[in-house]
Structure 1
Amino acid sequence: MSQEAKSSACLALADGSVFFGSAFGASGEVTGEVVFNTSMTGYGEILTDPSYCGQIVTMTYPLIGNYGINFEDVESNGPRLRAFVVRELCRAPSNFRSELSLDDYLRKAGVIGLEGIDTRSLVRRLRSQGSVTGVLSTVDLDPQSLIAKAQAAPSIVGQDLVQEVMPAASFAWTERLGNFATLAPQDSQPTRYHVVAIDYGMKWNILRHLTQVGCRVTVVPGTSTAAEILALQPDGVFLSNGPGDPEPLTYAIRTIRELLGKLPIFGICLGHQLLGLAAGARTYKLKFGHRGANQPVMNLRNSKVEITSQNHGFAIDALTLPANIEVTHRNLNDQTIEGMRLTDQPAFSVQYHPEAAAGPHDSAYLFEEFCSLMDLSVEKMKA
């Protein structure tokens, strides 16, 4: 019997590579940028991170699903990635918090899963050649057909994926960190500030951290204008993470540019890139991106190394930085910019995720730094 006949799913890459395996979760066919994540845990958060919109995510850790899925730890209202690839799926999770198996969760969410392939071979290919477009199918197992589909699919570069994941309308966020997060609920601070969080595909744990440090948070869609945001009379503005290429998001860049100098601004991930573009820098696509819970970053202000969680495929080009941007953090693996601040305006950002659930918490101090900026802004207004 042929390999194709034995297989229930096939992943084909635009470079001609083909991987046969077994399907789990939903059935069907999807196209996306194939990327990998090096985290050992946190697959529930990865599945629901809107930044993975448009991507087929491969986990490098060989066994995934052993502690199931619980709905307290999710980062949005459902999986946002195109498909999920693992070496071995655990079909019998064992954890007191588990509410659903990974297989059942993906099936109900309509997301295709693939197991049983050589994920080491796939990841080595992505590391050497870079992230590539792929097609994962349970209905078409013809390699040449799938390769042709992958080659004809558009690149993630130039696409506006934010429109697929941002909220349709503004809303107030009130949830704080739970018992299984960094801080216990009793450690939270009283409300001190009103923050408008611009949602380009935001992880909910960011909002939990903002409320934990004393912020009343109003979430607005990523297409909101500066006038609409200023009308809410915030003390500060947060720029969220989100999927894909930042350069097509001209509406977001224009809004941030119009807000600069008016209010303290803090950006994470895509928000970091958008702040850089609004200030006059450029961005570029990384070869295979940074995705995992183990990325070393140097804080240049105190020479401390932070172990960080990351998920991004684009970065700010250091050669295009304007004179008023100071680099504050660098990735120790490839020296890319991981943090910056504007020297003449109250705005700063980081490329990594200081709020990461199921990941390191070395960088949670950044939320307090945002509050300090708002403190100074309020004092200046009173003076």
Structure 2
Amino acid sequence: MAAYGLYTHIASNKFRSMLLLAGLFLLIYVLVFAGALVGEVFANSDRPLNYYLTHASRDLVAAFPYATIAAAVWIVIAYFFHQNMIDAVTGGESVTRQQEPRLYNLLENLCISRGIPMPKLKLMDSPALNAFATGLNRRQYSITVTTGLLQALNDQEIEAVLGHELTHIRNGDVQLMVVAVIIAGVVGFFGELFFRMFTNLSWNSSGGGWSSSSSRSSSSSSSDHDSKGGGGAVLAIVIAVALIVLAWLLSQVVKLALSRSRELLADAGSVELTKNPDAMITALRKIENRGELPGATSAVMELCVDNPREGFADLFATHPSVDSRVKALVQFAGGHDPGPLALPSETASDQTDAAEESAGERIPPPPPRGPWSGSSEPAAIPGAGSTSSNGPWGPHR
């Protein structure tokens, strides 16, 4: 599906995202198959590999409706309670126009100018510079802004950040990312469950079979076990572990692919709303490397304007780098990049430290004086002149 403009890019991105989301959902069944392999090996330890693969496939067919129902229940629970869970983690609280008139008016003006229903506005008490949007339907949509962002950015920059989050809501990114995080969470949960199940098994070298750690005994079995069957069990376990690892890796890759592409479109949508690419650029430069939310989970950080948490060699970074985002805004929106920016508070602190350091270099501390300071000079006497040889009690001797 070719894309030539902002809206066709959004439509094309939605189509690809739905395919990726369907693939993410299919990973649940891959994990079920891997779990069935482990279960078959645990139940029958002296069979050939073909036996395990055939019976695991049958188990998958039998477990298909139950796995689907379990995943659907998980999604339903998250649908109704995900905002409460996010607020519990971040401490975000809803604010009104009376509590935060500046922030509320900026968001309301943006929504009115574009005919967008106004989402709930939440404020998070944190010095970090970040914001994120959440919600799965119109009644749940909300934008959370940190107090640090509100203090560090001017009105135009805050408006650009709000436009970025509104674009996520308009494009359906919020719903998709929340569902993707939920499904990835299901994959991670079952993957860890099956991996723990596997690590609880051990190969019985004397009997040639698999047994759980709770059922191991010192009893020996006959040495004429089926070596071919034992080898099949080992291969089945290797395949199960490989499937678990592959499913987890693919779930992360799909989730990151969804997040990265949407951040660039949200930046472009913010420029479309505000008509001010420079404000979005300077906002990103100020937020750069200052958005870490100390108590937030990785799922919350993936929803933010910027996620400073980086994976191995940026392989698992959820957001494009600020440099690449700024470069896109300069190239396609005509903005101007001022380069990395220091916040006013940081600049004032650096200037104060520099002034104190230079003052310390210019004015050395006075040497100690007096009979108790270890100095050889006499202590100063009140009232004594600097050139007179007489003191208040007569001439010095």
Please classify the TM superposition score into its range, dividing by the shorter chain length.
under 0.3
Of structures 1 and 2, the larger Rg is shown by 2
Q: Identify, as 1 or 2, the structure richer in helix.
A: 2
- Give the alignment's TM-score, normalised by structure 1: 0.24
Q: RCO (CA 8 Å, sep 6+): is it higher in 1 or 2?
A: 2
Q: Identify, as 1 or 2, the structure richer in strand.
A: 1
- Give the alignment's TM-score, normalised by structure 2: 0.23
